[in-house]
Amino acid sequence: MNSNVENLPPHILRLVYKEISALAADPPEGIKIYPSEEDITELHTAIEGPEGTPFAGGIFRMRLVLGKDFPAVPPKGYFLTKIFHPNVGHKGEICVNVLKRDWKAELGLRHILLTIKCLLIHPNPESALNEEAGRLLLEDYAEYESRARLLTEIHAMGGTSGAPQDPNDGPQPKKHAGDPTKRAGPSAAAVPAVLGNGANGASTTSSNSNSSSSTNNVAGKKKADKKRALRRL
């Protein structure tokens, strides 16, 4: 979605920047704020699934988009994390009165975020964008809860929702997979040879030591024979 920074008057941009800075410094409980330095007309947030709901334990990423007529016209809200909820459409669009007929310019972004978090606690099946979720909420809550919980576990727990990055993700050092002769260090085939050379080296050293000892013994014997011969003279 295109930025509306150039379409908003400077005094509105200053007000938006001030409000987003305040939100980032003191966010509502259970909500994290991710302001963009490049485009303050699009605010990304992460909402913790409230306890006692099928969304508990999940982290739901969401964004608010401020249009060119803001604040006369309310922002548009979208869930980026897939969620099974009556008031969230299949493309993530959010249906809540504060983003429609109940909007007032003085309400501000904090009020919107708190209202959307409350929507996770108290869905409104009468204005359902997801008709199946709305029907199950009214007719078979256990099935609704099961479906909502399943999608929470799949999409809102771990992965892109804040879990530590897998060390195997991202760029990896280059290596020649499947060809051990091109890997760093001695190859598997070379290891026995190296060990063998070491053993041979040890044998050679031992042989050289024995040979040197024998030579020394012979030389000593010759010296003793010479001494005896001189005494006889």
Contact between 83 and 152 (Cβ < 8 Å): yes
Contact partners, residue 48, CB within 8 Å, separation at least 6: 30, 31, 58, 59, 60
User: What six digits make up the tokens of 52?
Assistant: 């006692």
Interior angle at CA 179, CA 178 and CA 180, nearest 5: 110
**From CA 90, how far away is CA 37, in angstroms rounded?**
29
Residue whose tokens read 């999608």: 151
CA dist., res. 157 & res. 163, Å (int): 8
5, 39 contact by CB (below 8 A)? yes
* 118 belongs to the catalytic site: no
CA atoms within 13 A on the CB side of 19: 21
Strand partners of residue 46: 32, 61
Q: Is 62 helix (H, G, I), strand (E, B) or coil?
A: strand
Residue of 31, 88, 95, 98 marked active site: 95
Residues annotated as catalytic are 95
